[in-house]
Structure 1
Amino acid sequence: MEVTARAPGKIILSGEHAVVHGSVAVAASINLYTYVTLRVPSPSSSAETSDTLTLHLKDMGLEFSWPIGRIKEALSESNDLDCSSPKTCSGKFAESISALVEEQNIPEEKIALASGVSAFLWLYTCIQGFKPATVTVTSELPLGSGLGSSAAICVALSAAFLAFSKSVSLDKGHKGWLDFGDNELELLNKWAFEGEKIIHGKPSGIDNTVSTYGNMIKFKSGSLTRIKSAVPLRMLITNTKVGRNTKALVAGVSERTLRHPDAMTSVFNAVDSISKELSTIIQAPAPDDISVTEKEEKIRELMEMNQGLLQCMGVSHASIETVLRTTLKFKLTSKLTGAGGGGCVLTLLPTLLSGTVVDKVIPELETCGFQCLIAGIGGKGVQVSFSGSS
């Protein structure tokens, strides 16, 4: 038997940076997914596979494996954990997991993956215990670009592992993608958040919540509200491939706020208004094409205003400005998403937009060395699919 889970990435539609200073922000899922397949060996499997836990990061061509006996020896006390009650990985368990990861000799240039491998080991042993299995991870999301790739991995891992646990009741004979119930999603989201803590230290919980539940969330001062889009938005996502230091960018906005408190307070208040208006527009029904077009035009203007305010905060970048200029040539509106300073840029693709425009703008962006992805916004959250033994 094997189970495959898929969890979507996320974008920030409005409010990044300003949310740190008390403004509302809006985040949404995108229909680009991370996939995790968990395969449990059959009784007739070879001794090697029936006594090993293997993690295969397919996109990177990396494979890690541990004898079950070695994991037991290192983490025996963690087996007391109940998978219906998520716990934080701390103290000696964190040290023991780090030791297991270090034994794998991850290549120096891929060492950033170590925290993700640690999150995998923690989630697996807590939810599945000390059982042999092969876990394969593939993703449509570029890593470290602000599209929630680490959260999507944690959500997909939690979903695949919980699908085989007694805490979750699913129809294993069903063909196709299955949704979790509300209580199961809440449990899954808590486990994914624990994985995110191993990777990021102090995550906000926004990324894993969007990936778990899908659609959109509005958030302010640590409070998250799920909202549902009534508009089928489509975006061109341009990955500038320019790495950024989120902490430094956040600190830069705070320093600017200290230097210009009144001006920056006005900027944050304006962003707050944009996020509130955006969430109202997105939730209102659009009965016909004219309504959809009118809504898209309002969303386009709000994105343009939000980008201008992000420039006021000092978080744009030459690569982002290149995307803005290129898409503007085709009368398209763009804004950065996430931390800025590089990362990804969103471009609204209106429903009535000619396909030839998209066919022209993408090659032009790609000649700058950027990666282009087209995604639907505000779709389903995490799902699982079962298949019989092969």
Structure 2
Amino acid sequence: MEVRARAPGKIILSGEHAVVHGSTAIAASIDLYTQVTLQKLSDSENGEGLLKLQLKDMGLEFLWSITRIKERLRDLSTPLPSQPMACSSECTESIAALVEEQNIPEAKVGLASGVLAFLWLYISIQGLKPATVVVTSDLPLGSGLGSSASFCVALCGALLAQSDVTTLDLSPQGWLTFGESELELVNKWAFEGEKIIHGKPSGIDNTVSTFGNMIMFKLGKLTCIKSGMPLRMLITNTKVGRNTKALVAGVSERASRHPDAMSAVFSAVDYISKEFSTIIQSPVHDDLSVIEKEEKIEELMEMNQGLLQSMGVSHASIETVLRTTLKYKLSSKLTGAGGGGCVLTFLPALLSATVVDKVIAELKSCGFECLIAGIGVKGLEICFGGSS
């Protein structure tokens, strides 16, 4: 039986950085996905009993014999699929040795933590069974669009769909969804994978990817919200790498130097996120109300970007995107950590395709990568056999 799972990436619509200081932020799923295909094989089909991981987009394949994995993990106990738990330091060491044996190319060495997370999640949920796992993704790596979380969620979804702890009706064609409690289980496992990759993730990325739609979060509390109107964004990847930890620290240092001024900035961001939430959740009655809402969203994005600039997290590449989109009277803001990374540009419903094409052409001429995404889509979905 072959199973496919897909999980969306994410953007931060408003509130990044300020959320660390107690403000409200809003994250949303986007219709750019990581897809994982899992094909379990018997020893006779698989030959030696191999576990294969193929990262299609990168042209990489990793192979482990089940015998070798057993040797490495002989003295270690793995959890039950129904009881997610962290990978112990001993287990991390043993699995890291299995990853090192793969001789990952120097240029792709950043993938090692993702491969480690794959092995831990696979062994924990499926046990020591031969299989081929193929991964493809629409999401650029390390750009703040939640690529690692969507990988962990899609992987856990595929693994759990072929385990005894979830129940899905195999008869319908097309994409299926788990029930609420099963999604919670996927989310907990995906969070353990994210911890292996990132150390101390917030859990926001995997939650958005698992459940989809939008999430409002403040002081560690997550609330799922649904949009009452279709939203589309142009996402521009500046391809400028950034150090998230250093950017977060920089905002905190500025806040300690100017406590009253920065407190007002964080408070303003909180109000922007709350107003954003109210606008996108309220129902749309006609085209006029859509246009009114879109104008408010554009203004809120501009205000949020101005506040992010005052926090010191913009960058020359981000300013280039802002200037370019402003020429076409479009509103943009950075998303995520800033200092490079990605920029969101709001695309109103009645905006002509010609204008969008012109904007994209100009941004690409600057060396940027452009993606168009629908906002607030479904979360994890599963598909069996050849249907899609």
Q: What is the TM-score normalised by the length of structure 1? A: 0.98
Q: Deviations over 1:35-60 (max 9, x none)?
A: 00001125751523xx0000000100
Give the 3-state SS of the residue equivalent to 1:81 in structure 2. Answer: coil
Specify which of 165, 168, 173 is matched with residue 170 of structure 1.
168
C-alpha separation in 2, matches of 1:196 and 1:46 = 29
Matches within 5 A, 1:25-64: 25-42=25-42, 45-48=45-48, 51-64=49-62
Determine the structure 2 residue equivalent to 1:155. Answer: 153
Matches within 5 A, 1:1-390: 1-42=1-42, 45-48=45-48, 51-78=49-76, 80-387=78-385
C-alpha separation in 2, matches of 1:124 and 1:338 = 29
C-alpha separation in 1, matches of 2:64 and 2:42 = 18
Q: Deviations over 1:187-241 (max 9, x none)?
A: 0000000000000000000000000000000001111111111110000000000
Shift of residue 172, structure 1, vs aligned partner: 2.1
Tell me if structure 2 keeps the 8 A contact 1:78–1:125. Answer: no
Give the 3-state SS of the residue equivalent to 1:76 in structure 2. Answer: coil
From the superposition, tell whether residues 133 and 280 of structure 1 become closer, same or farther in structure 2 (CA, over 3 Å): same
Identity %: 74
Tell me if structure 2 keeps the 8 A contact 1:79–1:129. Answer: no
Aligned-partner residue type, residue 72 of structure 1 = K
Give the 3-state SS of the residue equivalent to 1:66 in structure 2. Answer: strand
Aligned-partner residue type, residue 114 of structure 1 = A
C-alpha separation in 1, matches of 2:73 and 2:8 = 31
C-alpha separation in 1, matches of 2:305 and 2:20 = 17
- Structure 1 stretches of 4+ with a deviation exceeding 6 A read none
Give the 3-state SS of the residue equivalent to 2:3 in structure 1. Answer: strand
C-alpha separation in 2, matches of 1:64 and 1:331 = 48
Q: Deviations over 1:157-207 (max 9, x none)?
A: 000000000110012232110011000000000000000000000000000
Tell me if structure 2 keeps the 8 A contact 1:230–1:285. Answer: yes
Aligned-partner residue type, residue 221 of structure 2 = S
Give the 3-state SS of the residue equivalent to 2:164 in structure 1. Answer: coil
C-alpha separation in 1, matches of 2:129 and 2:139 = 29
Tell me if structure 1 keeps the 8 A contact 2:84–2:192. Answer: yes
Aligned-partner residue type, residue 31 of structure 2 = N
C-alpha separation in 2, matches of 1:66 and 1:17 = 41
From the superposition, tell whether residues 155 and 2 of structure 1 become closer, same or farther in structure 2 (CA, over 3 Å): same
C-alpha separation in 2, matches of 1:207 and 1:340 = 16
Give the 3-state SS of the residue equivalent to 1:210 in structure 2. Answer: helix
C-alpha separation in 2, matches of 1:21 and 1:318 = 25
Shift of residue 77, structure 1, vs aligned partner: 4.8
C-alpha separation in 2, matches of 1:277 and 1:78 = 50
Tell me if structure 1 keeps the 8 A contact 2:14–2:26. Answer: yes
Shift of residue 359, structure 1, vs aligned partner: 1.1
C-alpha separation in 2, matches of 1:147 and 1:189 = 17
Tell me if structure 2 keeps the 8 A contact 1:4–1:38. Answer: yes
Structure 1: gaps (5+ residues): none
Give the 3-state SS of the residue equivalent to 2:310 in structure 1. Answer: helix
Aligned-partner residue type, residue 33 of structure 1 = Y
Shift of residue 79, structure 1, vs aligned partner: 5.1
Give the 3-state SS of the residue equivalent to 2:11 in structure 1. Answer: strand
Instruction: Report how many aligned residue pairs link the two structures.
Output: 387
The CA RMSD over aligned residues, in Å, is 1.2
Aligned-partner residue type, residue 67 of structure 1 = S
From the superposition, tell whether residues 46 and 181 of structure 1 become closer, same or farther in structure 2 (CA, over 3 Å): closer
Aligned-partner residue type, residue 377 of structure 1 = I
C-alpha separation in 1, matches of 2:125 and 2:222 = 26
Q: Deviations over 1:126-166 (max 9, x none)?
A: 00000000000000000000000000000000000000001
Structure 2: gaps (5+ residues): none
Shift of residue 338, structure 1, vs aligned partner: 0.1
Tell me if structure 1 keeps the 8 A contact 2:46–2:131. Answer: no
Give the 3-state SS of the residue equivalent to 2:228 in structure 1. Answer: coil
Q: What is the TM-score normalised by the length of structure 2? A: 0.98
Shift of residue 80, structure 1, vs aligned partner: 4.5
